[in-house]
Amino acid sequence: MAPRPTPADKFSFGLWTVGWQARDPFGDATRPELDAVEAVHRLAELGAYGITFHDDDLLPFGANAATRDAHLTRFRRALDETGMVVPMVTSNLFTHPVFKDGGFTSNDRDARRYALRKALRAVDLAAELGAGTFVLWGGREGAEYDLAKDVRAALDRYREAVDLLCQYVVAQGYELRFAIEPKPNEPRGDILLPTVGHALAFIATLARPELVGLNPEVGHEQMAGLNFVHGIAQALWQGKLFHLDLNGQRGVKYDQDLVFGHGDLLNAFALVDLLENGGPGGGPAYDGPRHFDYKPSRTEDRTGVWASAEANMRTYLLLKERAAAFRADPEVTAALAMSRVDELTTPTLAPGETHAGLRADRTAFEEYDVTAAGARGYHFVRLNQLAVEHLLGAR
Amino acid sequence: MAPRPTPADKFSFGLWTVGWQARDPFGDATRPELDAVEAVHRLAELGAYGITFHDDDLLPFGANAATRDAHLTRFRRALDETGMVVPMVTSNLFTHPVFKDGGFTSNDRDARRYALRKALRAVDLAAELGAGTFVLWGGREGAEYDLAKDVRAALDRYREAVDLLCQYVVAQGYELRFAIEPKPNEPRGDILLPTVGHALAFIATLARPELVGLNPEVGHEQMAGLNFVHGIAQALWQGKLFHLDLNGQRGVKYDQDLVFGHGDLLNAFALVDLLENGGPGGGPAYDGPRHFDYKPSRTEDRTGVWASAEANMRTYLLLKERAAAFRADPEVTAALAMSRVDELTTPTLAPGETHAGLRADRTAFEEYDVTAAGARGYHFVRLNQLAVEHLLGAR
Amino acid sequence: MAPRPTPADKFSFGLWTVGWQARDPFGDATRPELDAVEAVHRLAELGAYGITFHDDDLLPFGANAATRDAHLTRFRRALDETGMVVPMVTSNLFTHPVFKDGGFTSNDRDARRYALRKALRAVDLAAELGAGTFVLWGGREGAEYDLAKDVRAALDRYREAVDLLCQYVVAQGYELRFAIEPKPNEPRGDILLPTVGHALAFIATLARPELVGLNPEVGHEQMAGLNFVHGIAQALWQGKLFHLDLNGQRGVKYDQDLVFGHGDLLNAFALVDLLENGGPGGGPAYDGPRHFDYKPSRTEDRTGVWASAEANMRTYLLLKERAAAFRADPEVTAALAMSRVDELTTPTLAPGETHAGLRADRTAFEEYDVTAAGARGYHFVRLNQLAVEHLLGAR
Amino acid sequence: MAPRPTPADKFSFGLWTVGWQARDPFGDATRPELDAVEAVHRLAELGAYGITFHDDDLLPFGANAATRDAHLTRFRRALDETGMVVPMVTSNLFTHPVFKDGGFTSNDRDARRYALRKALRAVDLAAELGAGTFVLWGGREGAEYDLAKDVRAALDRYREAVDLLCQYVVAQGYELRFAIEPKPNEPRGDILLPTVGHALAFIATLARPELVGLNPEVGHEQMAGLNFVHGIAQALWQGKLFHLDLNGQRGVKYDQDLVFGHGDLLNAFALVDLLENGGPGGGPAYDGPRHFDYKPSRTEDRTGVWASAEANMRTYLLLKERAAAFRADPEVTAALAMSRVDELTTPTLAPGETHAGLRADRTAFEEYDVTAAGARGYHFVRLNQLAVEHLLGAR
């Protein structure tokens, strides 16, 4: 049986996920609007600990101060009643037509200034609600036509924008870090900072790189055919896994936002193993929210919405159980050793060895039996089969 | 008519390209071995200025000193006779079975030490031949199975290796820089540093990042569905375009290594425009070798090999002509202005403006007519159509 | 200069293309509604000969008889005033929530009956307006979850529906044929009849296969990484190219619906060559409408909409010119012969030869010099380079 | 624990799978040749019932009669000793350079004649060994360059070849059927008959379609991003699933040939469910060999080869167990009903109903509450979650 989620599991959901009305490029909405207050209560009942949102999810675009306050008051009350937290907030810089060529990198300077102002307001909102992370998904920062966008200028403007946001949180004394969410395409033909790698590289150019990390999403990396676990590992390696978006994707196609585990299940298993057991001593390698950014399929009614929310958490917890069993299995331990997985943590050079020492070591080259070494097996298939059988609950 | 290539065009070819015997996963070689000396002479006749190679392309794997010297002497003589240069050298850390789990990141530490030694020897060879760039393509650095490779440990070892190589060239006083070549997959299921972005991010973690840049390849980025021009732009933006591999790829599939321009022709046009006209004042944004890393199709005989080599250069020069005409066309200038392409180079903030100033500017938000701004057109399709018509030679 | 389109070119546009308001999965509409009458007039002015539509594009979903008549009368008048024709009509079985699990193959039988009724009404409308083709795009016929759809039952229902439609047009005496439009995914995770091949195979199982052919779309095949020209060739070979949708797509990603030629330009060139010069004696292989099913990018205003409409036709005509020059070039003729392209039209068996004859022919096997044959070159790269240079207008 | 395979499970392996020496486009062989006799014995010990091969796997290309006989005698003896059968034979028309532009569709007519002769000899061999299926994988039937291959002529030649093979088996009285194996690309840029659909469509044009069916391969459909279960379902629906190739693929990339289940595990689960429980009354929908066409990874030694062979069968049997439990679970039965999966088997028309009847039924359209119908949920996510949890062994 699947274990029941509890707040200690740190599961959070975007308000726009359970609240998605299921309008798609070829179809009208199939579900009515969901009240944010109801979302808080239902998610709390299901065992989530947090809810996240874009500014416009909670406070209607262009609303006046009174309307904003009214919405915010109701929402805060729901948080208080349920104990739910708001670990992350973000700003919608993609829905309104003004952002059609981007927010921070629109060719139109006035649109860029407007985007920055909107983002700064959302930063205030995030701070006000105690969020620790502010996500930057630049879904419209991109182009369809190679000669219509000066990509280097766009990256200048992107950096200018993120630097400004960082200066602002420092100036305000906010305890808030930024997390860039990469995506390769859709809704733009090509989006800037398309993968975990491009965003990591960009961060290294910022004025305050320590304030900016990543919010990688399962499906976004998989839309480029990239291995999500590899991306997360590099983000962790560079100290930049500030937040993450869990969902499911079935290959290189449009952004599906399926339930976590309803896509590449083997990769999801390895991901949970990395997050939960990849830290020093085998503990968690990541202790932030397990955030679901998925869409309940357009075929579902409200009942199906909540069933799908629950499914995300159940699958995560089942994979966590399977990963724990995998790590505890002595056959797995032996197989990992056979595959020399651990040997990779040993530096290639001996302690204190330099290039001179290496070059002087005849056993490393001149006397190395390269033929024999090439004939040795790594036994990776068997190790993977053990993973599959643990995943299937067959061990 | 296509202009004739000259050494001033800086065209270079890998010895392994024209020398490819056309063995593929499902077929035996269709062409005999090509003598490196013949390659130098023929490429020189066709107008190339340089030739590049993996250590094992020139000097047979495991050859003794006498054999190596004999090969090297003949090769140097051919260079002298033709005036051809060797702008780049690299080491083959992927063909021999000893590298089956990688070179610098094999789970087997002895294999890693052997790989480092082999690379150091190739660095010596590169310096000896006056190459300015040493390419690192880690084609075997990767995995098929998520739980069989500790990616963070692998990145530690990768960094250890590249740091060692950098220390070595500094210690030796070589005028040599390294260029990492990303690739998402093939021959491994997933390769580490899969894209331009991941490699850029990795470089930022090195001890001597100034010595390490990129060697992006057209087809490798396109195998992940990424826009090659965007990748090159980000590499230029980060000052890391040290070298590049030109070829053709038709979408997300196996690595095709077609002739440059025989894949996504529109993207190739934008690439040549960026390289040739993207610099300050409209001059070249990149002045290194225009290096072709392609494979003459398996259906070709030796005649076809040389025809294909020529085709790479002809297409490049034709695209250069088309790009020059595009930039010189007043209609294009007007269209770029209509699309506000240049406006993106203007900072979003006014000179000296801070977040406080921006927040105080009511015209940027409170008084901004967001509806009117959202209704304005960017005229990108017309601009792109001008590009298409210039590409077609119809303007 | 690009030639000007005329009605003789048989260019047609979907009303939903120029009329697209640019609502996408992440953004609101950026353009106002376009009146169908204006569309007819503007397209006529630009040189188109036809306009096509979904029932709901012209006649609002659920409109009463009076409203329908009013719309239809205005539309017919515009046709009369401009001489524009309606070569194709189709039914929208995907936008309304009732179709969320499909039209003809919804798990809900009542929804299927409703879909059939709606389609029959649209068939009447098509006949009334003199359309020769009724397109069936089953965009919602599919699934996200493998165990939630009985695919064989779905194909039974699909066949039942198409058979019924055929019976109806025969019974009514309509001069109307059906054209199935394949698509691999989006908006469903997997769509039934995902490629030209699957749809051709399905047609062979119908009661009246002669009434049903294909409406292949450039981008739809390319979303599966398939070669559109190969698909069109197989459709022609099976006598089933009843209609086609021209547009542009940049690789395996979401459905982009770019302007024709703004995607894979080389493939577009080969396509136009096949359509225009692939018939017996070198004439057209297809004489139906050149129908554009594209979307003016969301960044465009109304001016950009018409510029994009024009761009489709200009590119087609330029490619037609290039293809004519390619076919007329004696160097190309010689290169085709060198590549033995024409030799493939010669049957492999001699006239009257059977397997017995072939087996008795020792020159075909026992005495065949397989090594020499394997060494011969096909010179395909040179032929392709000639195509590239013709495409670039450089010959 | 995984159940042990027995001959009743009808598991078969290609000799070229366990015998693959692991030469890839970037690497030399890592394993020695495997004797066919050893392969037969080891596979028999592991529980397989059959072995399959290309002519050249068993009998060296170009071997004289004596050599062929010697090999055949030893092989037959191994079969006799083990009780192993040969359910399928095929001909290698792709490795030798003579086939570089194809076998049946090479532009070179002599090469085509040679290919036909080679195939006819392999057909004799198949019959001699009692195989029921002869697979046709046209891996070289294709092109890289759109203008270098007349696809319609190629399809003519393809049909000519398959028709000849059919005439031959009829003339010889062989109990042998043909199974075409589609693949979208690799080693050619585009392969003819790229998907299950295209091959099904082609079969309908043959002189003896009843003798020709399909041999779909998991990874080949997935290389085009297509749903393998959907493809198999359409093949079954058209009565054409004559054989199949089980393996694993991780998305749209080069042909990986991983162990079955080491790719898209959810799709593999649905596949086994379809094969085992999709027949009338819930029995098997397919009773042919469960044939594995995979490659033991290049990192594996001989021990790893056999471990990987075993892994294929273990995973299949585990998935079969999970699928049986899924079908037996009353919660699943209820969920399937909630999702109306079974309702799709009910014809859309009532018994005897025609278009006239449907059009007269006001409840189907005029009185149908389309809004209410659009609001109903299909509960597909919950059903899929039940599948995931059964797959994970958690129910």
Local confidence pLDDT in tens for the 395 residues of chain B: 668 999 999 999 999 999 999 999 999 999 999 999 999 999 999 999 999 999 999 999 989 999 999 999 999 999 999 999 999 999 999 999 999 999 999 999 999 999 999 999 999 999 999 999 999 999 999 999 999 999 999 999 999 999 999 999 999 999 999 999 999 999 999 999 999 999 999 999 999 999 999 999 999 999 999 999 999 999 999 999 999 999 999 999 999 999 999 999 999 999 999 999 998 889 899 999 999 999 999 999 999 999 999 999 999 999 999 999 999 999 999 999 999 999 999 999 999 999 999 999 999 999 999 999 999 999 999 999 999 999 999 99
C384: nearest Cα among D129, A314, B307: B307
Which residues of A carry out catalysis?
54, 57
Tell me whether residue C66 is exposed, middle or buried, using C-beta atoms within 10 angstroms of its C-beta: 0 to 12, 13 to 18, 19 or more. exposed
Residue D189 sits at the chain B interface (C-beta within 8 Å): yes
Residue C152: half-sphere exposure toward Cβ, Cα within 13 Å: 15
Q: How far apart are CA D40 and CA C86, in angstroms?
A: 65
**pLDDT at position D3:** 84
Nearest CB to C114 within list D267, D347, D364:
D364
* Residue B250 with chain D: CB contacts under 8 Å: 189
Confidence of residue C1 (pLDDT cuts 50, 70, 90): low
Closest alpha carbon to A134 in A144, A121, A145: A121
Task: Mutation target for B interface from C229, C258, C315, C385: give the one with most B CBs within 10 A.
Answer: C385
| A150 contacts in chain B (CB < 8 Å) | 341-342, 344-345
Give the closest residue to D97 by CA, choosing from D85, D84, D106: D106
Identity of the residue in A100, A258, A299 whose CB atom sits nearest the CB atom of C27 = A100
Question: Whole-number mean pLDDT of chain D?
Answer: 97
Question: For the residues C335-340, what does the mean pLDDT come to?
Answer: 98
| DSSP assigned state of B95 | S
Tell me the one-letter amino acid at C315.
Answer: T
Question: Hey, are the CB atoms on B377 and C259 less than 8 Å from each other?
Answer: no
Q: Give contacts of B 354-393 with C, CB under 8 A.
A: 374-382, 384-385, 388-389, 391-393
Catalytic residue check, D9: no
Å between C148 CA and nearest CA of chain A: 11
The lowest-confidence range among B163-172, D125-134, D277-286 is D277-286
The H or E element that residue A13 is part of is: strand A11-14
Asked if residues D180 and D197 have their Cβ atoms less than 8 Å apart, the reply is no
For residue A58, what is the enclosing H or E element? helix A55-58
Listing DSSP states for D54-67 in one string gives EHHHHS-TT--HHH
Contact D95/B28 with Cβ under 8 angstroms?
A: yes
Q: How far apart are CA A54 and CA A60, in angstroms?
A: 10
| CB of D83 closer than 8 Å to CB of D46 | no
Q: Which residues of A touch C28 (CB under 8 A)?
A: 95-97
What single string gives the DSSP state of each residue in C278-336? -SGGGS-S--S-EEE-----TT--HHHHHHHHHHHHHHHHHHHHHHHHHHH-HHHHHHH
Mean per-residue pLDDT, D363-367: 98
Q: What are the structure tokens assigned to A61, written together?
A: 């675009």
Q: What is the pLDDT of residues C115-137, one digit of tens each?
A: 999 999 999 999 999 999 999 99
3-state DSSP call for residue C136? strand
Q: What is the pLDDT of residue B1?
A: 64
Residues in chain B with CB shorter than 8 Å from the CB of D28 are 95-97
User: pLDDT tens across D83-123, in order?
Assistant: 999 999 999 999 999 999 999 999 999 999 999 999 999 99
Asked if omega into B187 is within 30° of 0 (cis), the reply is yes
Report C:311-350 residues touching D (Cβ under 8 A).
Answer: 326, 339-349
B352 CB contacts (<8 Å, ≥6 apart)?
none
Q: Is C64 on the interface with D (CB under 8 A)?
A: no
Q: B150: which DSSP letter?
A: -
Give the confidence band of D1 by pLDDT, cuts at 50, 70, 90. low
Among the listed residues D340, D345, D324, the one whose alpha carbon sits nearest the alpha carbon of residue D380: D340
| Contact call for residues B29 and B23 (beta carbons, < 8 A) | yes
| Shortest CA gap A299–chain D (Å) | 6
Write out chain C residues lying below 8 Å of A223, CB-based.
253
Chain D residues touching residue C380 (CB < 8 angstroms): 143-145, 148
Quote the CA–CA distance of D242 and A314 in Å, as a whole number.
39
Q: Tell me how far apart the 2 most distant CA atoms of chain C are, in Å.
A: 80
pLDDT of the residue at A3: 84
Q: What is the mean pLDDT of residues C24-36?
A: 98
What span, in angstroms and rounded, lies between the C-alpha atoms of B162 and B160? 6
3-state helix, strand, coil in chain D (%, to 5): 50, 10, 40
CA distance D112 to A226: 40
CA–CA dist A221, A230 (Å, integer): 10
Say whether the peptide bond before residue C330 is cis (omega within 30 degrees of 0): no
Mean pLDDT of C238-253: 98
* Band (C139; pLDDT cuts 50, 70, 90): very high
CA quadruple D27, D33, D38, D39: dihedral sign:
positive
Q: What is the DSSP string of A92-134?
A: --SSSGGGTT-STT-SSHHHHHHHHHHHHHHHHHHHHTT-SEE
* A172's tokens: 């305000």
pTM flag (> 0.95): yes
Helix (H) or strand (E) holding D133: strand D133-137
Q: What is the ipTM of this complex?
A: 0.98
- C75: tokens are 């539309």
Query: Could you give the CA distance from residue D143 to residue D156 in angstroms, rounded to a whole number?
Result: 16
- With b for 16 or more beta-carbon neighbours within 10 A and e for fewer, the D121-158 pattern comes to bbbbbbbebebbbbbbbbbbbbbbbbbbbbbbbbbbbb
Interface test with A, best of D267, D388, D390 (most A CBs within 10 A): D388
Distance between CA atoms of residues A122 and A59, nearest Å: 10
Taking CA atoms, D266 is separated from A268, C74, C81, D384, in Å, by 12, 53, 57, 10
Instruction: Return the pLDDT at C279.
Output: 87
C-beta separation of A267 from A280 below 8 A: no
Active site residue B390: no
For the cut 90, the answer to whether the pLDDT of residue D292 exceeds it is yes
Measured between alpha carbons, how far is D191 from D170 in angstroms, rounded to an integer? 28
Rounded Cα gap, residues D36 and D84, in angstroms: 12
Residues of chain A with pLDDT under 70: 1-2
List of residues 6+ apart from C323 with CB closer than 8 A: C269, C272, C273, C276, C277, C390
Is it true that the peptide bond before C289 is cis, omega within 30 degrees of 0? no
8-state DSSP, A175: -
Instruction: Please state whether B225 falls in left (phi above 0), alpha (psi between -120 and 50) or beta.
Output: left
Report the run of H or E that residue C159 belongs to, with start and end.
helix C151-172
Q: Which residue has the tokens 């392709």?
A: C384
D77 close contact with A: CB closer than 8 A: no
